[in-house]
Amino acid sequence: MVRLRLLLSLCALLPSALCDYKITLTTSSGLLLTDGNTTVVNNTAILSGSQNTTVSALKNSTQGLSYSFITPTVAKVTLNTSNAFNGARFSASSDTHFYGVWEYPFNYRISNTNVSFELKGVGNNVGINWSNARAPFFLTSSGYGVYTDTLKMGSYDFTTPGEVQFVFNSTSLVYYIILPKGDGSLKSIIEQYTEISARSEMPPTSGLGPTFWSDDFTQDFHGSVSNAQENIQDVVNHLYYNRIRATSTFLDRPYGSGNRSWGNFDFDPAQYPGPEGFMKNLTDFGFDLQVWIANRAQLGTKIFNASTANGWLFPDDHPVGGLGEALNLSIPAAYDYFEENLEYFASVGVKGYKIDRGEEGEMPDYVQNEQMALFLDLAYETMVHKWGKSGFYNFARSAVDRSRAKTHIWNGDSAANFTGLAYTVASGIRAGLVAFPIWGSDTGGYTREGALTPSAEVWARWMWFSAFSPVYEFMLGTNHTPWYPPYNQSTVDVVKQTANLHADLTPYIKSCAYEATKTGLPIIRALFLEAPEDTKTWEVPDSYFFGEEFLVAPIITSGGSRSVYFPKGPSKKYLEYFKKENVYSAGTTANVTVGLDSMPVYVKQGAIIPRGDIFQGNAMWVEDWKPSLRLELFPSYDVPESRFTYFDGEGQDGRTVEIVMTTDKEKKAVNVNLGELGFGVTLVWYLRGATEGREMSVSSENGSLELTEVDTLF
Ligand SMILES: *[C@@H]1O[C@H](CO)[C@@H](O)[C@H](O)[C@H]1NC(C)=O
Ligand SMILES: *[C@@H]1O[C@H](CO)[C@@H](O)[C@H](O)[C@H]1NC(C)=O
Ligand SMILES: *[C@@H]1O[C@H](CO)[C@@H](O)[C@H](O)[C@H]1NC(C)=O
Ligand SMILES: *[C@@H]1O[C@H](CO)[C@@H](O)[C@H](O)[C@H]1NC(C)=O
Ligand SMILES: *[C@@H]1O[C@H](CO)[C@@H](O)[C@H](O)[C@H]1NC(C)=O
Ligand SMILES: *[C@@H]1O[C@H](CO)[C@@H](O)[C@H](O)[C@H]1NC(C)=O
Ligand SMILES: *[C@@H]1O[C@H](CO)[C@@H](O)[C@H](O)[C@H]1NC(C)=O
Ligand SMILES: *[C@@H]1O[C@H](CO)[C@@H](O)[C@H](O)[C@H]1NC(C)=O
Ligand SMILES: *[C@@H]1O[C@H](CO)[C@@H](O)[C@H](O)[C@H]1NC(C)=O
Ligand SMILES: *[C@@H]1O[C@H](CO)[C@@H](O)[C@H](O)[C@H]1NC(C)=O
Ligand SMILES: *[C@@H]1O[C@H](CO)[C@@H](O)[C@H](O)[C@H]1NC(C)=O
Ligand SMILES: *[C@@H]1O[C@H](CO)[C@@H](O)[C@H](O)[C@H]1NC(C)=O
């Protein structure tokens, strides 16, 4: 049985300043981290060699190796050798689970059992192609993490049970062995990792969506529509008439002039006859706009001509008709040229990029990580110049480690069927384990050809999942638009229900996003992050905690039934969130069945859920729109005190308010303290006797409220 060994170690129980971890070199030139007499980390070997396939353990030469604790819980190891490849091996008990490194769920798992792969884009795979967020960081169920601070190419091998080995194409290497601190949780390892590397920036509220886009707005015209610009207006209009909330849209390729429509830094005048009027229209209708970009130069385009004249392109090893080579952005002039030309988009009002590719062979694999980081940097800079930090939404499918501070992500090209959805859910959980918190997927699935098409059922289930994703991003168009055949009103109804739910959850999601900027903790959380002592949570790829309050179990197969496991630790009981009738005990499994109008979602005892209409987006149909906030309260006498940190701001600017709920079983009293929560908040108490919730309006002076003689739902 796997145990979280860290919980037994002395350090986990003491303030970290009193910790006494030691690091020592073993006789076989490995490193041991000990806590008293307990080995907490066994770094069995330091590896070095002239080829990535021939590395061997350093034996009796530790020249160039240094190691020490830089904080009471983080050891830094530095290695310089004359060899081109360096790495390390770690051993733990054979039932240890290793997580992290890649977003893609190899073998449909959230752990890396049996995986051996490089730290690069994963290419075409089961369920999803190009699910490429990654980081040289792994986390183990035995209670430590290891971060290798490099953008060099490398590989991780998890094929030996209880062992991991990594090797990088670099003569020097720095890695950090990270132990838990504070409450001793695995979450504290992610916090320390992201403190050393980087944390996400706050997205603008519009970035969280719902956002609606087409893979190709230049086709599939309806009614009087005759170009892409009008096609988008048609989407905007349908969202308006159906009262479906939205905050943004984006233009995928093709939208520019030139060869394969990319490389001239413009809008194709045939499809976008008046980009500036079009942009103003979108703004007036409450939409932000992003455009597709990639580091590729297609024959005959402006970027290609400038690059060939200056020798900026990586050598072409593709057949003619390929997608164009990448610019080598390590050349400062190439970097500057790209950045200067992108500024055009910001200048006409574009508020972010969908950043594609970087791992399709347009450059040698060994520079993928370095080049992707440079491209994300320059894209970020062009937006920051115009809109300031958090004033725009950039998202990429390929992003490495520190780039999480420069871009958010989507999970690549998923298959438009239940396999695609299942893998997508698992990839969302895994993105969290490499600390990419702001994440979304192409709702309905990206690959829609042949047998792959979002059936009304797959699509509806995916919409529910996206409602409980950090970003709700909806792919329509190209003969798959809910309000056009073959779909009908019932699909439109689910779009409306889920998009509007996501919009209403924005206060909650935004608060979690803010927490992620401060701690690195993801919003979609593997069950074990919240329930580390429950060994049944180590390998669950199909349910997750959404922030700390929700347990979410998407339907990922046909038919609407699934089993749901209720983890032990975070809560003694869980309440079904929508009907508020069924309560489940931790440690049990239930079979549940839901129609297309719902999904299995649960709240913990003591949950505090801020919801409401705080961002107008396209809701121009609401007269005299003003923000309103509602706090849903789920007190339980099993939980004497619970807290939620509400972020009351836009982008990075705002304040946090600590909401505290207390209960007193003997007095049968429940109390909430709203701190300095500003404008007219509505409280909704969920108590026994009324599943509708007991509503109360609160004025700002009234910071604390108590109800007595009440029974809770748990
Ligand atoms: C640690 O090992 C030393 C030497 O073997 C022994 O004297 C000591 O009692 C051990 N301490 C614990 C806490 O087991
Ligand atoms: C460390 O791992 C190696 C290889 O599995 C093993 O031989 C050694 O005994 C371990 N050391 C400790 C202290 O656990
Ligand atoms: C390791 O090196 C030390 C000092 O250089 C030497 O005394 C020792 O014999 C060496 N051991 C082996 C196994 O080569
Ligand atoms: C490794 O090399 C770097 C720079 O080349 C140097 O700063 C560092 O001190 C070296 N570390 C060790 C342990 O030799
Ligand atoms: C790992 O892969 C091997 C070979 O493909 C297979 O036999 C084994 O069952 C796999 N183990 C796990 C735990 O998936
Ligand atoms: C070694 O590098 C090659 C080329 O990048 C790669 O295909 C291979 O997977 C690597 N092998 C290991 C063990 O890292
Ligand atoms: C702006 O929106 C109006 C109203 O839908 C439409 O008639 C007009 O053509 C749009 N203009 C542009 C440039 O998109
Ligand atoms: C566009 O690029 C393709 C190769 O990808 C090339 O065959 C074609 O000639 C180019 N067209 C123009 C107008 O340059
Ligand atoms: C390692 O990196 C060098 C450049 O630093 C490159 O020439 C070489 O091909 C790379 N090796 C592998 C196996 O990727
Ligand atoms: C992945 O790419 C391959 C090759 O282009 C394609 O056949 C397959 O449908 C794609 N799968 C997904 C999930 O997009
Ligand atoms: C989804 O599509 C893929 C690729 O076409 C196929 O292999 C898989 O079996 C499909 N899954 C389901 C559940 O139909
Ligand atoms: C759930 O359904 C499965 C398959 O029908 C069954 O084996 C299992 O016992 C059920 N579990 C519960 C808790 O009802």
pLDDT in tens, 178-237: 999 988 899 999 999 999 999 999 999 999 999 999 999 999 999 999 999 999 999 999
Query: What is d(CA 526, CA 581) in angstroms, rounded to the nearest whole number?
Result: 26
Q: Of how many residues is the chain composed?
A: 714
CATH number of 531-603: 2.60.40.1180
Q: For 543-574, how does the pLDDT look when each residue is reduced to its tens digit (9 = 90+)?
A: 999 999 999 999 999 999 999 999 999 999 99
Please tell me the number of the ligand nearest to residue 120's CA. 6
CATH 2.60.40.1180 applies to domain 607-712? yes
* Ordered alpha helix ranges (H), 242-300: 275-284
Q: Which two tokens stand for residue 159?
A: 């094929």
Protein residue with its CA nearest to atom 7 in ligand 8:
321
Instruction: Tell which wins on pLDDT, 59 or 501.
Output: 501
pLDDT of residue 22: 96
Q: Rounded to the nearest whole angstrom, what is the distance from the C-alpha of residue 229 to the centroid of ligand 7?
A: 9
Q: Rounded to the nearest whole angstrom, what is the distance from the C-alpha of residue 3 to the centroid of ligand 2?
A: 18
Question: Residue 403's closest CA among 370, 367, 440?
Answer: 370
- Per-residue burial over 498-535, b = 16 or more CB atoms within 10 Å of its CB, e = otherwise: bbbbbbbbbbbbbbbbbbbbebbbbbbbbbbbbbbebb
Protein residue with its CA nearest to atom 9 in ligand 12:
591
Question: Residue 249's closest CA among 219, 286, 222?
Answer: 286
Query: What is d(CA 496, CA 476) in angstroms, rounded to the nearest whole number?
Result: 14
User: Quick one: 399 exposed, middle or buried, by C-beta within 10 A (0-12, 13-18, 19+)?
Assistant: buried
Query: Which ligand 11 atom is at minimum distance from the Cα of 420?
Result: 1
Q: Rounded to the nearest whole angstrom, what is the distance from the C-alpha of residue 592 to the centroid of ligand 12?
A: 10
Query: Which ligand 10 atom is at minimum distance from the Cα of 449?
Result: 9
Cβ(167) – ligand 6 distance below 6 Å: yes
Q: CATH topology for 205-519? A: TIM Barrel (3.20.20)
Question: How many Cβ atoms sit within 10 Å of the Cβ of residue 367?
Answer: 19
Question: Residue 256's closest CA among 221, 216, 316?
Answer: 216
Q: Rounded to the nearest whole angstrom, what is the distance from the C-alpha of residue 155 to the centroid of ligand 9?
A: 13
Q: Which two tokens stand for residue 575?
A: 């309440």
Q: CATH 3.20.20.80 spans which residues of the chain?
A: 205-519
Q: For residue 254, say if its preceding peptide bond is cis, omega within 30 degrees of 0.
A: yes
Protein residue with its CA nearest to atom 5 in ligand 10:
124
User: What phi and psi values does residue 188 have, to the nearest 5 degrees?
Assistant: -70, -20
Q: Cα dist. 592→237, 268, 293, 419, 491 in Å?
A: 37, 50, 43, 20, 22
3, pLDDT greater than 50: no
Is the distance from CB of 343 to CB of 383 less than 8 angstroms?
no
Query: Which ligand 11 atom is at minimum distance from the Cα of 451?
Result: 5
Q: Rounded to the nearest whole angstrom, what is the distance from the C-alpha of residue 23 to the centroid of ligand 3?
A: 21
Cβ(64) – ligand 4 distance below 6 Å: yes
**Ligand 8 site-directed mutation target among 299, 302, 307, 323, most atoms within 8 Å of CB:** 299
* Ordered alpha helix ranges (H), 109-227: 186-196
Q: Which SS3 state, helix, strand or coil, does residue 232 take?
A: helix
Q: Hey, what amino acid is at 259?
A: N
Q: Rounded to the nearest whole angstrom, what is the distance from the C-alpha of residue 293 to the centroid of ligand 8?
A: 19
pLDDT of residue 566: 98
In sign, the C-alpha dihedral spanning 11, 14, 15, 18 is: negative
pLDDT band at 602 (very low <50, low <70, confident <90, very high): very high
Q: For 286-341, how does the pLDDT look when each residue is reduced to its tens digit (9 = 90+)?
A: 999 999 999 999 989 999 999 999 999 998 766 555 678 999 999 999 999 999 99
Strand partners, 698: 681
Q: For 100-141, how does the pLDDT look when each residue is reduced to its tens digit (9 = 90+)?
A: 999 999 999 999 999 999 999 999 999 999 999 999 999 999
Those residues with Cβ within 8 angstroms of residue 536's Cβ, 6 or more apart along the chain or in another chain: 565, 567, 568
Please tell me the number of the ligand nearest to residue 302's CA. 8
User: Quick one: 288 exposed, middle or buried, by C-beta within 10 A (0-12, 13-18, 19+)?
Assistant: buried
pLDDT of residue 323: 76
- In eight-state DSSP terms, residue 252 is P
pLDDT band at 703 (very low <50, low <70, confident <90, very high): confident
Those residues with Cβ within 8 angstroms of residue 618's Cβ, 6 or more apart along the chain or in another chain: 236, 239, 240, 245, 246, 247, 285, 286, 287
CATH number of 2-196: 2.60.40
The mean pLDDT value of the chain amounts to 94
Q: Which two tokens stand for residue 411?
A: 């999970």
Q: For 21-45, how does the pLDDT look when each residue is reduced to its tens digit (9 = 90+)?
A: 999 999 989 999 999 999 999 999 9
User: Quick one: 633 exposed, middle or buried, by C-beta within 10 A (0-12, 13-18, 19+)?
Assistant: buried
pTM, full prediction: 0.96
pLDDT of residue 522: 98
Q: Rounded to the nearest whole angstrom, what is the distance from the C-alpha of residue 186 to the centroid of ligand 4?
A: 31
17, pLDDT greater than 80: no
496, pLDDT greater than 50: yes
User: What phi and psi values does residue 308 have, to the nearest 5 degrees?
Assistant: -70, -35
Protein residue with its CA nearest to atom 2 in ligand 6:
52
Is the distance from CB of 533 to CB of 569 less than 8 angstroms?
yes
Q: Which SS3 state, helix, strand or coil, does residue 220 take?
A: coil
pLDDT of residue 579: 96
pLDDT band at 676 (very low <50, low <70, confident <90, very high): confident
Strands 395-396 and 408-410: parallel
Protein residue with its CA nearest to atom 12 in ligand 7:
278
Query: Which ligand 8 atom is at minimum distance from the Cα of 299?
Result: 2
pLDDT of residue 680: 78
Query: What is d(CA 33, CA 177) in angstroms, rounded to the nearest whole number?
Result: 9
pLDDT of residue 4: 42
Q: Hey, what amino acid is at 673?
A: N
Query: What is d(CA 154, CA 170) in angstroms, rounded to the nearest whole number?
Result: 9
Q: Rounded to the nearest whole angstrom, what is the distance from the C-alpha of residue 80 to the centroid of ligand 4?
A: 6
pLDDT of residue 696: 83
User: Quick one: 453 exposed, middle or buried, by C-beta within 10 A (0-12, 13-18, 19+)?
Assistant: middle
Query: Which ligand 12 atom is at minimum distance from the Cα of 563?
Result: 1
pLDDT of residue 322: 67
Q: CATH 2.60.40.1180 spans which residues of the chain?
A: 531-603, 607-712
440, pLDDT greater than 70: yes
Cβ(118) – ligand 6 distance below 6 Å: yes
pLDDT > 90 fraction of the chain, expressed in percent and rounded: 89
Q: For 148-173, how does the pLDDT look when each residue is reduced to its tens digit (9 = 90+)?
A: 999 999 999 999 999 999 999 999 99
632, pLDDT greater than 70: yes
Average pLDDT over residues 572-584: 97
Is the distance from CB of 621 to CB of 240 less than 8 angstroms?
yes
- Per-residue burial over 400-432, b = 16 or more CB atoms within 10 Å of its CB, e = otherwise: bbbbbbbbbbbbbbbbbbbbbbbbbbbbbbbbb
Which residues does a 6 A CB cutoff place in the pocket of ligand 1? 36-37
User: Quick one: 282 exposed, middle or buried, by C-beta within 10 A (0-12, 13-18, 19+)?
Assistant: buried
Query: Which ligand 6 atom is at minimum distance from the Cα of 53?
Result: 13
pLDDT of residue 240: 98
Q: Hey, what amino acid is at 418?
A: F
pLDDT of residue 679: 62
Those residues with Cβ within 8 angstroms of residue 278's Cβ, 6 or more apart along the chain or in another chain: 229, 232, 272
Question: Residue 350's closest CA among 383, 377, 381?
Answer: 383
